[in-house]
Amino acid sequence: MAGVTPPQRERFGSKFGVIAAAAGSAVGLGNIWKFPYEVGNNGGGAFLVLYLGFVLLIGIPVMISELAIGRNGQKNAIGSFRAISPKRPWFLVGIIGVAAAFMIFAFYGSVAGWTLEYIFQSAKNGFEGKTPDQLGSMFDNFVENPMRPLMWQTIFIVLTASVVMAGVKKGIEKYTKILMPVLFLIILVLIVRSVTLPGAGAGLEFLFKPDFSKINASVILSALGQAFFSLSLGMGTIITYGSYIRKNDNLAVTAIQVSTADTVIAIMAGIAIFPAVFAFGINPSQGEGLVFVTIPNIFQQMPGGYVFSLLFFILLAVAALTSTISLLEVIVAYFSEEYKISRKKATIYSSIVILFIGTLCTLSKGGPLTDFTIFGKNIWGFLEFVSADILLPLGGLCIVIFVGFFMGRKRVREELTNAGSIKGRLIPVAMFLVRYIAPIGIALVFLNAIGLLKFG
Ligand code: PFF
């Protein structure tokens, strides 16, 4: 191909399309499945306060940095680093990202499969007349017999692969634009129902009243990991999407809008879930099953619950799908661009690897691999911890240091001001966060987590 102008890179077609795709990546199971159980396990309101601080002071600067790298580098997560800094090994950050994408997709795809089972159960009215206890054991039985979860997981991976094969504009952008707003509306309906249940107040108190005695080093690390996971940061997803953004879109504004949408939806999911958890006497720290047990409880007591439950799980699946699409896109963009194989081949090969690791994850949840542990965690727990709590913040740390000190002021300015056409009065603030606050913040959390530093 030497000497030939490469074909025009694919682009998102509209500003709303960009936000829908990036928010589609950010908003997913992390908001509706993981956020509520992390809050439940880690002391409610105090976790929330930490989380919000991390989104504002670390998440948004990392997101701006990733967008700038992608749009400036005009390549995948690894290639963009190489394009900007060909002589230094910064591309390794992209490699961490691609590795994290495989790991996250493995367990994420498993939960995404659960959403399909719950669509199926909603459709056949499988929750009707069940007590909260029965709904709890229904979930446990389903997860502990791995055949069905594996079947759904496979279907989900195939679905993701088919959208990614269709490409950026006709696949990713087209679907996310319609589905994200509908998801928002359904959560609103749920909130109204949940907060009007008798005893709902205790749930709101749990979510919003901070009890700082619950905070310790591992809770702080989880809050940071959750912020990265939920915003899809630290692993090149936003670099990859940034490379598809048109030159006249405002990167800082995009980052703020996407982060706000993501945070609002996570909190809304919390408001929909916790009042019902307390009203039905479900244990708020019961972990991964929280949403899958709480939501059927709400719906099966509600007029029109059949329709709403069906809609809810369809949308949860869609929210998961727009996120798995972005995970797969990181991998596919890398392999197809760097090794010059077709998008189709890259998609098929990577999906097979994901299915393999994903199967191990699923079998470690109640199946034959349950007792197999790595550093005291089962395969699933290990991959979740290493990716979300270690690799993403580590990737984020490298990303802000790269943009803050190594990418070159001129390039960064060019991206943040769209080559001078945006005034950018807030750029100094953004750069202060990128250069100092975010890296120091992440480093402190790490040092605290490994016990080298004690605070709080
Ligand atoms: N942000 C997604 C969620 O909250 O569900 C999960 C995710 C997607 C993480 C894409 C990382 C990523 F690259």
Residue 403: CB partners within 8 Å, gap ≥ 6?
65, 68, 69, 412, 434
Q: What is the pLDDT of residues 84-111, one digit of tens each?
A: 999 999 999 999 999 999 999 999 999 9
Q: What is the mean pLDDT of residues 243-266?
A: 93
Q: Do residues 268 and 188 touch, judged by C-beta distance below 8 A?
A: yes
pLDDT over 80 at 245, yes or no:
yes
What does pLDDT average to over the chain?
89
CB of 117 within 8 A of CB of 296? Answer: no
**Nearest atom within ligand 1 for CA of residue 326:** 10
Q: How would residue 306 be classed by pLDDT, with cut points 50, 70 and 90? A: confident
Q: Is the CB of 250 under 6 A from ligand 1?
A: no
Pocket test for ligand 1, best of 51, 230, 328, 354 (most atoms within 8 A of CB): 230
**DSSP secondary structure string for all residues of 292-309:** HHHHHHHHHTSTTHHHHH
Token couple for 176:
């996310």
Q: What percent of the chain has pLDDT over 90?
A: 60
Whole-number Å distance, alpha carbon 6 to ligand 1 midpoint, is 30
CA-nearest residue, atom 10 of ligand 1: 232
Question: Which pLDDT does position 303 carry in this prediction?
Answer: 76
For residue 28, the ligand 1 atom closest to its alpha carbon is 5
Ordered alpha helix ranges (H), 85-173 = 91-123, 132-144, 147-166
Cβ atoms within 10 Å of 407's Cβ, excluding its own: 22
What is the position in ligand 1's atom list of the atom closest to the CA of 230?
4
**Residue 170: its pLDDT value, please?**
66
Check if 80 has its Cβ closer than 6 Å to any atom of ligand 1. Answer: no
Instruction: Say what the pLDDT of residue 433 is.
Output: 97
For the chain, the maximum distance between any two Cα atoms, rounded to a whole number of angstroms, is 70
Cβ(229) – ligand 1 distance below 6 Å: yes
The structure's pTM equals 0.92
- What value does the mean pLDDT take over residues 391-397? 95
Give 30 Cα–ligand 1 centroid separation in angstroms. 6
The per-residue pLDDT for range 351-372, each reduced to its tens digit, is 999 999 999 999 998 888 888 8
pLDDT digits (tens, 9 = 90+) for 31-88: 999 998 899 889 899 999 999 999 999 999 999 999 999 999 999 999 999 999 999 9
pLDDT of the residue at 455: 57
The model's pLDDT over 125-172, given as tens digits with 9 standing for 90+, comes to 999 889 989 999 999 999 988 899 999 999 999 999 998 888 666 666
DSSP string covering 359-422: HHHHHTSSSTTTT-EETTEEHHHHHHIIIIIIIHHHHHHHHHHIIIIIS-HHHHHHHHTTTTTS
Contacts of 250 (CB under 8 A, 6+ apart): 418, 422
What's the confidence (pLDDT) of residue 3? 41
Instruction: Report which secondary-structure segment, H or E, holds 310.
Output: helix 305-338
pLDDT band of residue 181 (cuts 50, 70, 90) is confident
Query: How much is the pLDDT for 5?
Result: 45
Q: Which of 4-13, 250-259, 294-303, 422-431 has the lowest mean pLDDT?
A: 4-13
Helices (H), 129-250: 132-144, 147-166, 174-195, 200-208, 217-230, 237-242
Distance 258 CA to ligand 1 centre (A): 13
Mean pLDDT, residues 300-321 taken together: 85
Q: Which residue has the higher pLDDT, 39 or 181?
A: 39
User: What does the pLDDT average to over 271-289?
Assistant: 86
In the prediction, which pLDDT does 186 show?
84
Q: Which residue's alpha carbon is at the smallest distance from atom 13 of ligand 1?
A: 232
Q: Is 280 in the pocket of ligand 1 (CB under 6 A)?
A: no
Q: Tell me the mean pLDDT in the region 407-436.
A: 92
Structure tokens at 117: 């089972």
